[in-house]
Structure formats: C-alpha cells, structure tokens
Structure 1
Amino acid sequence: MVSTPGVTYKMFRGLSDEGINILAISTSEIKLSVIIDEKNTLNAIKKLHTIFDLD
C-alpha cells in the first residue's frame, strides 16, 4: 500500500458511496482493515472487488 497512493481513499470512498459505515480502522504499511456491520459484508466485498478490479 505504501507504494500505491489512493488505496485508502478508494476503499473509504467506495464503502461510503454504498452507505456502509466504518466502525473501526486498523492500518499498517501493507494492510488496511475495517470493521463494518455484518449485514453489509457481502455488499462491501462486491464493491471492493469492483473498485480494485478483482473480479
């Protein structure tokens, strides 16, 4: 993540656009983790796959 600017912004913006509230955040140089409501898990996964071209 350190060498790829904008990852955090893309992730937070994408979740926000879907109306998904982030309850907690943890970061390191290579990992970004968030806690969200369980009911939003599938929607968040789909959105992040789309944002980061993981499909």
Structure 2
Amino acid sequence: MADVLYTGRKSESFMLRLPERMKEEIKRMAEMDGISINSAIVQRLARCLREERANEQ
C-alpha cells in the first residue's frame, strides 16, 4: 500500500469496537499487505480524511 504514514511514534492508544465481519475483513487485507491490523486501520482512516479534505476544497 502506498499510503504508509503510520510509524508508531507519538501515537495514542484507545479501544475500538468493530463488528466481527469488519474486523475479519481488515485482518485479511492487512495480511495481504504484510502489515498489522492497526497499521491497516490507520492507513485507511488517513486516506479517507485526505479524500474528505480534498472534496471540501
């Protein structure tokens, strides 16, 4: 995945509840990308936020 911006530095931790199906899908995608579930979630959130900012302009 080209959007690698999660480095683990200066990050905050919090609990996230996900529907089981969503968690399994994210886990599968993370495994395919060779990254952790956490990194997969962070990358997708970052991409979504960038796209939303671009659409607001």
TM-score, scaled relative to structure 1: 0.30
Compare the two structures and name the one with the higher strand fraction: 1
Q: Which structure's relative contact order is higher, taking Cα pairs within 8 Å and 6+ residues apart? A: 2
TM-score, scaled relative to structure 2: 0.29
